[in-house]
Amino acid sequence: MIVKNEMANLERCLGAVAGHIDCWVIGDTGSTDGTQDFIRSFFAARNLPGELHEFPFHNFEQARNAALDHAYASPLAYDYLLFDDADMELVVEDPGFRQQLDGPGYRLLQRSDSGLAYWNTRLARRNAGARYHGVTHEYLDVPGGVQELRSAWYKDHASGSNRVDKFERDARLLLEALEKDPENQRYWFYLAQSYRDAGRTAEAAVAYAKRAAMGGWDEEAWNARLQGARCLRKLGDEPGFIGEALIAFNQRPQRAEPLYDLARFYRDKGMNHASVLFSEAGLAINRPEQDILFLEDYVYTTGLLEEFAIAANYARDPALKDRGFAACNWLALNRTIANGPRELAWSNLFFYVQPAKTMMPSFNARPIGFTAPDGYRSSNPSVARLGDQIVLLQRTVNYTLAEDNLQYDTPGGVPVHTRNFLLRLSDEFVIQSASEVLPPADMPQPANDRVLGFEDMRLFAWRDALWGVSCVRELTEEGWCEQIVARLDEGASCRLTDWRVLRPAGPRVHEKNWMPQVKPGTAGAETLRFIYLCDPTRTVDAWGSTLIESPPAIAAQSFRGGTQLIAFAGGWLALIHEVQWRTAEKRRYYLHRFVWFDEANSLRKVSRPFFFDKKGVEFAAGLAWHPDERRLLISYSVTDSQSWIATVDEAEVRSLLEDVDSLPSGGAGAASRLTPASGHGPTEAGSKPDRADDGTMGATNQAPPQGEDLGPGGMKSTDEIFHELAPFLREVDSPPQRRERSRQFDARISRFLSRDDTALAQINCFYQVMSDKAEHRTLIAATTSMRAAGHPVRVWSYAPEKLEFLVARGIEVRNADDVMPRALFERIVAGSEIRYFSDIFRYALLYEHGGLWMDCDVILLRAFPFRGDHFFNLQWRGSHKGHFVCGNVIYAKPYSSHLRALYELSISRFHDASGKEFGDIGPKLLSDYIASDAGAELREWVFSPMFFNTIDWNEIDRFEKPIGDLADYLNDDRVFGIHLWTARNEARLGGEGAPLISALIDPLAGFSSLTKLADQFPTDKNRHTGNRHSYARVYDRLLSSRRLAVKRIMEIIQHRGAGIEDRTAPASVGLWQKYFPFSQVVGVDLNDLSHLNNDRFRSFVGDQSRPEDLRKIAAKLEPESLDVVIDDGSHTSFGEQLTLRELFSLLKPSGWYFIEDLDWQPPGEDASKITLTKTLLREIKEQGSARSVDPLGVSALAGQFAEILFFDSHYELNRAKLMGGLVAIRKGAGTGDTR
């Protein structure tokens, strides 16, 4: 292989081949990024011999042959050459493929994410005499011929370093070559390809036509004809496109790509009947295995079927439309195709779906006829059988469902409440009795009273009694949805009893819609199971523990639990539901399917989707056999306000069920498998139909200007993509819940936050003085906070002379004219507003300069040592306008292609848009771009609002509250700054109870450093009190990043002999409470300070020399409940080490344990029996364990010490030249309780 500056690709490329080669020869053509050293070290670590040669690059033929010559001349022992590229990844399906080699050369299939696949010669025998030909798009000629090798293939990532200017460079090389060889067919073909990829479409069309007319290799001539047709369509020459596409098909009728292009062309024009002509013809063509050039797998696996499924919906022929329904359903459930086409088909099922009566003529439904109590209405019913008796659990609710089927309204805003009633029905569904099902007598008081009662109960018979499994939200403060199983005791009153919460293993999530299954066991013993999920199909036991889990043959991720499982046809039948959100209508809709599981609970059969009465919110929670044993009973609700019961003949249900391994595809074949037949896996399509939100099926959006394509990736809307990416955005009304639910989403940022803040990123801001009377309070506060955090700050302005007052504050002021011309600034502001321009400016600035962008109303609370490629943060609300990503804080490296694209798009939108609404080229453009295919890779760099937008734009009234009242918003280690959202910033009074805004507008005082704050308290941790140890500077350095996150800090003080009147909290307690606004200080003292206890201070009496005292304290606190421990107590080595041993388990993982004044030891300790604490910890730090006497076993904790750092007491350093008077021990992550 040849390389140049390929550091970004080498780990993947070389890692894929290392296990399959004996040696290597690589040619480097001038790398400057460390590629050469990486290659040497990579292979050295694997003991693989090889040679690295360096030579200049003139063209690909010359460079590749130079590498080939070095390989031929090498003394290394090998039989075959494997030709690799840095942006390729070898995928080996048969590890023994090398033993199969016996021919001169071999072609391997090469696949790209665009769905393109073609054969390329990649293996040649050493003595075959292979040579490269062609200045670019070179090919390997192997005398003796080549064969196809199917046991390995290449994945083309198209990420090579030469991609930046590849197309223009290739065109230049090819034009130079054509001057010498003007009739070279290959050169003409690849010149056309280069023009096309460089966006020079008209020139590409001419070059393709030239190549097509030259004849020669028929596959290449045919592909030139097809690509030329596509260029004509892009240029708007529709007759030319149609003519050339038809000629291409006629030229090579075994290839279906021209038919796909024509089908899509006519479907895009709304000519659906014409479209079907071409898609049907294309579906009859199998993938041409004999062809090797540019096979578009997507066309054969997905594309033609997708076009047929969309266009056939408009067919007048019922049989054709039914085949379209089958095709759409096949795509929607297909595991082997890409997510985008599958989800588009799933969405388009909405247009095909039919009422139950159409699919099952015997379907007969009637209202249940139960009268709900005053203030309640009937909702989801669940029918079941107890012996021959029909029983039904009728839910009633006190809310109404809003028009969008999302909002729940209760009278006067009272909590949502469910009341359940047990009905006994005759065989003709006459209500014979009704009893309210009361909650358990031992049900605790609600921990959360927003949603009360047992919701969506599924009724079932087990052990000769009625049971139910329900969703309950009131047992946890957070309102978690939990599944509770309970027995219905029909004694004096009908009441739930024998209840328990079902808790599955794994991270906590909302638990809903478990489907109960009562399986007969040995000796008549019935076993209770639940289907927890359909994809993967997971069966759990009566306590929630997983028994079986297996993936179904279909993609059933959208299947949500519905009814009970009932015995049916040798297996188990249930009804599930799928929820679709239709953006155009701004409503959700429920569709239903029958699913059938075999005896092993594998999902084996499924019906097409249907609805009961009309498209909307319908929910089925009950399925049972009628006593006549030939009909099934189904109970369901409509809009949570009507309850219905229906019967249907079991034979009709049986006929609807289709085998998941061979669902009909609607194409030429009767059925097609939905599981992969080979290891290649699905391929992503580079160009797939879009679906507009106008209610039409598969309609495409008008192409945006200048080729702009921000259609959401995978055919999903921006809304869908962000709600899947960040599901916590769906429920943002509760600050504690949104904070906790976003935590896992943000966990990945840890590896991009450096602990070394010595080289913090440059912060850039834009500010234009619009009035000479302005005081610029917010600007001063924001930039001051940024400088105080340690970042270099640069403010850009078109009037830099008016911001000279910032220079004295250490802030650089630059002329914005150096980034964007002033004339353009004036034109944009004249046509919109200053905020609109600021959105554009940040893209241009970050592209050219890189670094951090921060709006001038972001108050930075601490350094943001980000080291990733990009940073974007979300906002909690704004989705109604498409605003998900907030542009107030962005990080990018210089010359980011994404920032360049955003800059170009924003300029284009300004010139093209009729309106200039705020956010159109800010949050909305950012959100649309990241949701698009072009910006998809940025999604891994999107983080939650907790970092800078924890208080949302419509919550700015919180700024008027004191910080102590805002724990739900700010008590989190992810908060780096606060976005003011232009909140009012007039001066406020400071002090206790002052509003948060007063601290934010004066950040140096309001969020003073711990070092400065300590000077205000009479403690020797500062720089001027008592012994002036100046420890505060160390606590500032190590704890400032946790200022808002610390919840509990312990300080050990051992005051002796104080009278009751002198028993006040140590001065440092006030310091900790002031600096850590959400913390409780736990004090340990010889004196009783319990009279001072309150929410923020808790005291214990204890002597550090008495193990029993320390153990009593530890027993009263939870393990891993302390963020920080500070031992400023007895200062005896015995007391320090005993306390460390007994209390270290109370420290949280990554928490800090400090011991002060190591250089001061009271007299009386025997050095032969106890080692000085400083000496003992130095030995552990340097050698991993103590080497001196360790009677208390401190060394046993060494495995839990992630870090031991020594710092100096300035007093002892100055007075006695003693160093290391303070030790800081950081606990490792994941260490357990060792008490």
Chunked mean pLDDT (size 10), the chain, 1235 residues: 92 95 96 94 95 93 94 95 94 92 93 78 95 85 92 84 64 85 88 89 93 90 95 95 96 96 96 96 90 84 96 92 95 92 94 94 94 94 96 95 70 92 95 95 94 96 96 94 96 93 90 95 80 95 93 94 96 96 85 96 96 93 96 94 95 95 73 39 32 34 39 66 91 89 91 81 93 86 94 96 94 95 88 85 96 96 94 90 93 95 90 66 93 92 96 88 92 95 57 81 89 91 87 93 94 68 74 94 93 93 94 94 95 95 95 93 84 94 90 92 93 83 88 33
Beta-bridge partner residues of 874: 885
Domain for residue 834, yes or no? yes
263-270: long-range pairs with CB below 8 Å, 24+: 263/304, 263/307, 263/308, 263/311, 264/303, 264/307, 264/689, 265/233, 265/238, 265/241, 266/311, 267/307, 267/310, 267/311, 267/689, 267/698, 268/700
Give yes or no for a contact between 1096 and 1212, defined as CB atoms under 8 angstroms apart: no
The CATH number of the domain holding residue 1084 is 3.40.50.150
Q: CA dihedral in degrees (1118, 1120, 1121, 1125; nearest 10)? A: 120
If one counts the domains in the chain, the total is 5
Among residues 84, 63, 68, the alpha carbon closest in space to that of 15 is found at 84
**Which residue is listed with tokens 């809903």?**
512
| 156 close to 114: Cβ distance less than 8 angstroms | no
User: Alpha-carbon distance 766 to 858, whole Å?
Assistant: 12
- What SS3 class is residue 190? helix
Q: How far apart are CA 515 and CA 530, in angstroms?
A: 5
Residue with tokens 């080669």: 21
Whether 42 is covered by a domain: the verdict is yes
Position 398: which residue type?
N
Q: What is the DSSP string of 570-610?
A: TEEEEEEEEEEEETTTTEEEEEEEEEEE-TT--EEEEPPPE
The rounded distance, in Å, linking the Cα atoms of 617 and 943 is 33
Asked if residue 678 belongs to a domain, the reply is no
Domain boundary among 292, 319, 351: 351
- Residues 894 and 968 reside in one and the same domain: yes
CB 972 within 8 A of CB 737: no
Same domain, 1163 and 1051: yes
**Radius of gyration in angstroms for the set of CA atoms belonging to the chain, rounded to a whole number:** 36
Which CATH number covers residue 230? 1.25.40.10
Same domain? For 740 and 873 the reply is: yes
Domain end residue (candidates: 645, 660, 675): 660
DSSP symbol at 1026 = T
Residue 999 included in any domain: no
Contact 154, 89 (CB under 8 A): yes
Specify whether the CB–CB gap between 998 and 986 falls below 8 A. no
1044 and 918 in one domain? no
Contact residues for 755 (Cβ-Cβ < 8 A; gap 6+): 865
Residue 655 lies in a domain: yes
pLDDT at 177: 83
Q: Give counts: helices (H), strands (E), the chain.
A: 34, 53
**Based on the domain organization, do 393 and 344 belong to the same domain?**
no
3-state SS assignment for residue 474: coil
Helix (H, G, I), strand (E, B) or coil at 1133: helix
For 1133, other C-beta atoms within 10 Å of its C-beta total 23
Residue 628, classed as helix, strand or coil, is coil
> For residue 773, what pLDDT is reported?
78
Q: Are residues 638 and 746 in the same domain?
A: no
330, 305 in Cβ contact below 8 A?
A: yes
Quote the pLDDT of residue 879. Answer: 78
Please give the C-alpha separations between residue 557 and each of 554, 596, 745, 919, 1059, in angstroms, as whole numbers: 9, 16, 20, 34, 69
603/531 Cα distance (integer angstroms): 11
pLDDT at 406: 61
Angle between helices 1107-1115 and 1133-1143 (to 10 degrees): 30
Measured on CA atoms in the order 471, 474, 479, 480, is the torsion positive or negative?
A: negative
Host domain of residue 7: 2-161
Asked which of 121, 138, 161 is the last residue of a domain, the reply is 161
For the chain, give the longest Cα–Cα distance.
107
Structural domain contains residue 510: yes
pTM across the whole model? 0.52
- Order across the sheet with 1147-1155: list the strands: 1097-1101, 1080-1085, 1048-1053, 1122-1128, 1147-1155, 1222-1227, 1201-1207
Cβ contacts of 724 within 8 Å, gap of 6 or more: 716
Report the residue count for the chain: 1235
Which domain CATH number covers 120?
A: 3.90.550.10
Residues 585 and 572: beta-carbon distance below 8 Å: no
Distance CA 743, CA 663 (A): 41
Q: Which residues 6+ apart lie within 8 Å of 1161 measured at CB? A: 1131, 1132, 1133, 1172
Are 969 and 1028 in a shared domain?
no
Six-digit token string for 1137: 């080490």
Residue 862 counted as domain residue: yes
3-state secondary structure 287-340: CCCCCCCCEEHHHHHHHHHHHHHHHHHHCCCHHHHHHHHHHHHHHHCCCCCCHH
- Residue 672 has a pLDDT of 45
Alpha helices in 883-971 (DSSP H): 897-912, 923-931, 967-970
Strand duo 1048-1053 + 1080-1085: pairing: parallel
Structure tokens at 1168: 């032969």
Comparing CA positions, the residue from 923, 742, 764 lying closest to residue 835 is 923
Shared-domain flag, residues 156 and 173: no
Q: Which residues make beta-bridge pairs with 388?
A: none
Give the CATH number for residue 870.
3.90.550
Q: How many CA atoms lie within 13 A of 157 on its CB side?
A: 18
Q: Are residues 192 and 314 in the same domain?
A: yes
What one-character-per-residue DSSP string does 1053-1085 give? E---S--GGG----HHHHHHHHHSTT-EEEEEE
Same-domain pairing of 148 and 177: no
Judge if 782 and 880 occupy the same domain. yes
Q: Is the domain of 154 the same as that of 172?
A: no
- C-alpha angle 38-43-49 in degrees, rounded to nearest 5: 130
In a domain, 1000, yes or no: no
Distances (CA, A) of 201 to 165, 294, 687, 966: 17, 19, 17, 58
Query: Structure tokens of 36?
Result: 């050469």
Residue 235 β-bridge partners: none
Please state the separation of Cα 385 from the chain's center in Å.
43
